[in-house]
Structure 1
Amino acid sequence: MLSRVAESLFWMGRYTERAELTARILDVHLQRVMEDPWLDESAACRALLTHLGMAAPTVELDSHRLMETLGYDRENRSSVAGALTAARENARGARDVISSEVWECLNATWLDLPKQREEAGAAGPHLFCRHVRQRTAMLTGLIDATVSRDDGRRFLELGWNLERAAMTTRLLSFCLGDPAVHSSWVALLRSCGAHEAFLKTYRHAADGPIVAEFLLLDRLFPRSVYSSLRAAERLLAELDTAGGPSRSGLDDPARRAIGRARTDLEFQRIEDIADGLPDLLARLQQTCSTVSGHIGGRYFTQPGPFTWAAGTSV
């Protein structure tokens, strides 16, 4: 496979996952603002932008301005529209590898964004967020049903698992600093599409330790950090055609970095890491950035570490 095609598929996966998760986050945030009359809307918007790696503007922030920044701005690749634009650009560079149905779904979703934004202005941004969630879910289903499970598919899945792990750790960091503890943890679960799975697993009200345990350590929930890292580690092993570890260990720095992070989670209990949870989340975020850089250095045309705020395909 050409390195530029592999690179396009990797970033297509990252940007698609980012668009879906950002739409989920915005939808839950806006619902929370509507339901909580005592919430400081401007402070909540600023905190969310900060934990997503974006500089908050100096002007007064409200939900409308937040939607403009995180929802509709096509020039900002950390926004929903910007991430979908970047995913489409990368998919166009891999047209020979992805199926026509996948391309048509992504292209139609991108073309429909102006209409969805216009309708959201009249009926509320929930419609825009729901549209993006539904379309990205459809795209994921088409990828699963129509794209061969070859190296191209592995790069695509590697991208979205790495993005999923990074986003989940950032959201956990955001909730740790939120004084509205209970509503914040429920909002986090909803943002990750995990509320029903959490209740089914624990049958318990959402509070910090068990929500953190579920989103960090759960083996069965596909959006947990552990599950995402394990999937990414497996994909890197399948992509490594050098024949496995040498006598002195693995030669792939990306596999070493992600394996250390996965192992660190696998043999932990939440009680053991509760006091150092902020530091653990910061290390996991750094690991995702480091692994992305190692993947670029080994497989892609222009290696370089991933910078969250820029979020650009190299």
Structure 2
Amino acid sequence: MLSRIAESLFWIGRYVERADNTARLLDVHLNVLLEDPWVDEPTANASLLAVMHVPVEGTATRETVLQSLATDPQRSSSITGTLGAARDNARRAREVISTEVWESLNTTYMQLGARSRTPRPHDFFLWVRERAAVVWGLHSATTSRDDAWNFMELGRSLERADMIARLLMTKALAGTTGPNWTTLLRTCSAHEAYLRTVRALVTEERAAEFLLIDRMFPRSIAYNLDKAETTLTLIEPGLSRHSQTDQARLALGRARTNLEYEAIDEILADLPAQMRHVQQACAMASDIIRDRFFLPSSSVLWSQEAV
């Protein structure tokens, strides 16, 4: 597979997943602001923007949060920006993705302007989640399990682990004014799965354990770190111990085992640092994948100009 195609597929996976999880995170954030009149809104907004690595000048208002994370088409952290970038990458990888996947991304992009201007942000977030589900459903139903599938799933797994870590960081940084664990489970579409698996009321330790290290639930951090490791093996089998790809697997494996073999109460006592470690592992793996499989930007530009 051409490196430019592999790179586009990788970023389609990341951008669609980022849009989905950003919508979930904003939805729970706005719900907390609406339901609890005692919340220090500027501080809560600033904490959320800090978790998403969005710089802010002055007081962080609700409008600032929505502009930066939902409607600004120029930001790679915003829903509008990520869905636009996903569509652009799909256009570049048009020769390998199915017509159904392309049409779903293109339709989503064409409807973004009208949908994002709704006076009810929750309706927009619900629509984004539904459109992401449509893309992933069509991707699953129409893509052969070859390298095209693997690169898209690799991007999706890394982004999901990173975004769930950010969601849990918002809970830790907000403290008692943040969303409760039942709300976090619902935000991750995990509440019903939790009840079936744990068969007990929601407690902090059990809910955190489910979202962090459950190996069967597809939105847990450990599940996605493990899936990214496995996908790397499928993309480049027979790895040597010192290969670049193996270094990416080692970074992801260390982050996963740190969660799986540490007591849950110790993780909760230092949750922000633990989640930053997960994010750093995902960022390191992403950088290694870029250097190993994708062309430098200058080479891509030169190839496009030559064509």
Q: TM-score, normalised by structure 1?
A: 0.88
Distance in 1 (CA, whole Å) between partners of 2:186 and 2:41 is 19
Aligned pairs for 1:248-267 within 5 A: 252-267=246-261
Rounded to whole Å, the distance in 1 between the matches of 2:89 and 2:290 is 15
Residue 301 (1) aligns with residue 295 (2): yes
Report Cα offsets for 1:200-238 as digits up to 9, x if no partner: 333445443322211111111101010001100110000
**1:214 paired residue among 210, 224, 232:** 210
Aligned to 1:93: 92
Letter in 2 for 1:112: Q
Q: What residue in structure 2 maps to residue 129 of structure 1?
A: 125
Residue type at the aligned position of 2:92: G
Structure 1 residues 18 and 291, CA gap change in structure 2 (3 angstroms): same
**Partner amino acid, structure 2, of 1:128:** F
Structure 1: stretches of 5+ with no match in the other structure: 304-314
Aligned-partner Cα distance in 1 for 2:18–2:115: 18
CA RMSD across the alignment: 2.1
Amino acid at match of 1:300: F
Structure 1 or 2: more helix by fraction: 2
Q: Secondary structure of the equivalent of 1:183?
A: coil
Residues 194 and 57 (structure 1), Cα distance of their counterparts in 2 relative to 1, 3 Å cut: farther
The answer for the alignment partner of 2:24 in structure 1 is 24
Is 1:23–1:129's contact at 8 Å kept on the other side of the alignment?
yes
> 1:51 aligns to what?
51
Q: 1:78 to 1:229 in 2, by over 3 A?
A: same
Among 202, 208, 211, the residue aligned to 2:198: 202
Amino acid at match of 2:223: S
Q: What is the one-letter code of the residue matched to 1:236?
A: L
Residue aligning to 2:106: 107
Are positions 1:158 and 2:157 aligned together? no
Change (3 A) 1:200 1:33: farther
Distance 1:44 1:205 in 2: 28
Is residue 2:40 matched to residue 1:40?
yes
CA distance in 1, matches of 2:137, 2:215: 22
Q: Which amino acid aligns with 1:101?
A: E
1:178 is the counterpart of 2:174 = yes
Mapped to 2, the partners of 1:187 and 1:240 lie a distance apart of: 39
Task: Give unpaired runs (5+ residues) of structure 2.
Answer: 298-307
Aligned length: 297
Structure 1 residue 245, shift from structure 2 partner: 4.1
Q: Where does residue 289 of structure 1 map in the other structure?
A: 283
